[in-house]
Structures are given as structure tokens and as C-alpha cells.
Amino acid sequence: MPQKFILVGSGLAGGLLAAYLGRRGYDVDLYERRADPREGNIVGGRSINLALSTRGIHALEHLGIADEVLQHAIPMRGRMIHPAGAGASTIFAPYDVDPNKHINSIGRAALNTTVIEAAQRYPNVRVHFNHRCTDVDLDSATAQLLNTETSIISAVRADAVIGVDGAFSAVRQSMQQRLDRFEYDETYLAHGYKELTIPPAPDGSWRMEKEALHIWPRKSFMMIALPNPDGSFTCTLFWEFEGPRSFATAKTDNDVRRFFDEEFPDTVPLMPTLLNDFRQNPTGSLVTVRCAPWHYHDKVALVGDAAHAVVPFYGQGMNAAFEDCVVLDECLAEFADNRERAFAEYFVRRKENADALADLAIDNFIEMRDKTASRAFRAKKKLDHLLEALLPGIYLPLYTMVTFTRIPYAQAAQRARLQDRIVYGSSAALIFALLVALLRALR
């Protein structure tokens, strides 16, 4: 008899994991509280598009669905910076010294549909929409499920339950409630986010450079925009919830209009539905979740945001969740007759990397909103690219390691710190030597 898994949540990682487990021959029931995304009810205020990069693509390639996904993607080759001040010219900063390296703007709906369909190709995977998990009995691996169409509650038992149910995971909550010494920490940023739209030009083309991630860095806050295949851009404003200038003070259409006129004047003519979008679209919060352990014996495990939600500023949350699926699949293969060992090993291999990513993502918020506008920052990026070209395979900028390689996040962060120490140390030594030489020459 094949082992039976219940997966809770068919978001980005849930669909992908169901496909991985289906391919291994497990019996999989995937329960999702929402309706089928193919019926058009998917996003619910979440980011409409996302940046997909090497780690995520590798996980899709492993299942043979990367090309299917990438056909819907738009390459973004660098950051297009929109400095403050009316009339200021945009500045393009490539992501890598190699112009072929890019990240990909991909629609959440298209991606979610592709991974669910990949899972459904396996006859041993069944997907049940409109089923909300309300509780999990950890010892018997039994999920309580509420059918949101019929209001019928049922208890479904399996060999293991995997919570792939996102940052506010019900499966994780069951672990929190029942397990002694379960570590849990959630931290919210003072900033929230709101999505806005730049529609296509009348001829269907993009109203700004298409192959770039646009950033309006404004020190304590920022806006970004990613291109969509239909010629539009989805903009996301990251702004303080409270304070003298914040979501809380943007109460009227006039407040919003004045704020945009002052801070993002180049976008105002491109956003005919700005006021409506601002009023209608929800303001989301930005949470970092850290917890441990990510499993309970061989009965329950957590994957993706359920285990480690991170703020979105490195564009890695989904990529990391996909990487979890690859690692869990590898561990289940390696310890095929000992699922508890497989879950434990998965946790050990991923935890320090998820923690490192959480820190990197917060640091990158400061970099994006504040530093990208500065000359010193752009000079450092150029130096990074120069060193990468001069020392191929030896010097790798942090962004490159995180985005364009599969070097574990913790290792990438550590290596970047070492590289910085060497570069700054040798620069300081060089400046000192030049000063000494200059003083000698003047004597």
C-alpha cells in the first residue's frame, strides 16, 4: 500500500509538492480552502505577479514544467530606478555582469494553475477545493476539514499531514497549541503594501521599459512595478501603516493624489485608476515567521510560508518554498523507509537557510527603498560586477548568489560577509598606502 499524505493548501508550494509526491507514487489528497483558481478566484489581495528565479526554476525543471511556466514570464534584466524629483531621469542598474541573467515576472494565477495541473496529471493525486482545514490531530495525522460549500465537517486520516497553508497556517497552529517547547516568532514590519495598476497603452504595449523591475526609492518607503504579459504593470506601494505621512493619513482622494504628485509624479499620468485602486485594494501586512521544529515525528510537517514566511524584498519567498519541495522530496527518497528521519533531515537542511533568508529579505528592504537611489550604492554594484568579471567563480555578489545560484542562503550570506571584509579591508589598505605615498612625495 502506498503511503497516504494529506496536503493542506494548494497555493504555490502545495501544488508543486503534490506533483513531487505524486511522482514518487504516494497517495495524495490536497485540500484547499479557496475555489479552483481556474474559476478565476485566486489572488484575494495577494501579489498578482512575482519574481521567479533560479531556485524556483530548478524546482519546476525537476518536474519538467519550467518551460510551460516560463512561456508566461517576462524577463526583468535589472532595476529601473525612478529617482525623486519631477523630471529626474531613470537609471538602469543590471542585475548581473552577464546580461543574459535575469529574473522573471510571472503571474501568480498562471503559476498556481500550472502547478496544480502538474499534480493532477498523476492519478494518485486528488485536489479538493473549498475545503478549509480547521484543526489537525497530530498523533493520528487526522485533519478536520470544513467543506465551505456544504458546511459539512469531516475528519480525514492519513499517514502524514503536510501544512502548505501559508503564513497563517492552520496546521502550524495545531502544532503550536499541542506541542511543548514549540518555538514560534512572528514579526510585522511597520510598513504595509497596496497594489495599484498601470494599464497597457491603447495599442496594448507597455508604458514603461518592459524588461525591468521598476523602483521608486523614497528612503523610508518605496513603490515597485513588475510587468505583466497583457501590457500592464502591477505596482506595489510599501508604506508605513502609521505616522505623519502614511496609509493612516491618506484618507481622502485628495490626500492620495497629493502624495502621488509629490512622490511619484511620473506615474500619475500612467495610472488613470489610481484613486479607485487605492480605495478598493486592501492594505496587506508584511510578516516574518520563524518556528521550530517543522515536523512532529513522522506525522506532520510544514513547507513553504507555513514554516518560514519572509518579507518579499528579495523576491525569494516562493523560490524558497519551491526549494523546500525539492529538499523534502530528496529526503523522502533518501530515507524511504523512515519518514520521521526524512522529515527531521528536511528540517535540518532547510531551517538555517530559511532563517538566513528572513534576515536577507529585511536587509534588502532597506537597500531597495533607501540605498538604490544613492551614487555610492550604484558604485558598489559596479565594483561588484567588475570583481565578478575579474575573478569569475571566486567573487560572487550576494544578489547573484541568492538569485542566480542554488548556493544555500546561509552559505551565501556568510560568503558575502567574508567578501565584503576582504574588499573593504583591501580598499582601506590601498587608500592608506596611497596616502602614505602622497605624504612622502610632498615632503
Residue numbers at the binding site for ligand FAD (CB under 6 A): 8-14, 31-34, 46-47, 50-51, 132-133, 164-166, 170, 193, 236, 284, 304-306, 312, 315-319, 321
Which lies closer to ligand FAD via its Cβ, residue 31 or residue 395? 31
Nearest to 330 by CA among 17, 7, 11, 4: 17
Which residue in the block uniquely carries the three cell numbers 590601498? 430
Residue-wise DSSP of 313-335: GGS-HHHHHHHHHHHHHHHHHHT
Cα 250 to Cα 140: distance, rounded to the nearest angstrom = 50
Q: Cβ–Cβ contacts within 10 Å for residue 208, how many?
A: 16
Ranked by CB distance to ligand FAD, the top (closest) residue is 11
Q: How far is the CB of 55 from ligand FAD (least distance, A)?
A: 8
Q: How far is the CB of 350 from ligand FAD (least distance, A)?
A: 13
Q: How far is the CB of 219 from ligand FAD (least distance, A)?
A: 20
Residue-wise DSSP of 373-423: TSHHHHHHHHHHHHHHHHSTTT---HHHHHHHS---HHHHHHHHHHHHHHH
Identify residue 91 by its one-letter amino acid code.
Answer: I
Which lies closer to ligand FAD via its Cβ, residue 172 or residue 339? 172
| Own/partner long-range contacts of 344-353 (Cβ < 8 Å, ≥24 apart) | 344/293, 344/295, 346/294, 346/295, 346/301, 347/292, 347/293, 347/294, 347/295, 347/301, 350/294, 350/307, 350/308, 350/323, 350/324, 351/292, 351/294, 352/408, 352/410, 353/320, 353/408, 353/409, 353/410
Q: How far is the CB of 226 from ligand FAD (least distance, A)?
A: 7
Which lies closer to ligand FAD via its Cβ, residue 107 or residue 166? 166
Q: How far is the CB of 302 from ligand FAD (least distance, A)?
A: 9
Identify whether the C-beta of residue 213 lies closer than 8 Å to the C-beta of residue 234.
Answer: no
Radius of gyration, alpha carbons of the chain: 23
Cα 80 to Cα 407: distance, rounded to the nearest angstrom = 26
Cα 170 to Cα 182: distance, rounded to the nearest angstrom = 15
Q: How far is the CB of 249 from ligand FAD (least distance, A)?
A: 22
Q: Cβ–Cβ contacts within 10 Å for residue 404, how many?
A: 19
Q: How far is the CB of 204 from ligand FAD (least distance, A)?
A: 24
Which lies closer to ligand FAD via its Cβ, residue 193 or residue 343? 193
Which lies closer to ligand FAD via its Cβ, residue 19 or residue 50? 50
Which lies closer to ligand FAD via its Cβ, residue 46 or residue 371? 46
Cα 56 to Cα 318: distance, rounded to the nearest angstrom = 7
Q: How far is the CB of 130 from ligand FAD (least distance, A)?
A: 9
Burial class (CB in 10 A: 0-12, 13-18, 19+), 131: buried
Q: How far is the CB of 50 from ligand FAD (least distance, A)?
A: 4
Cα 189 to Cα 18: distance, rounded to the nearest angstrom = 32
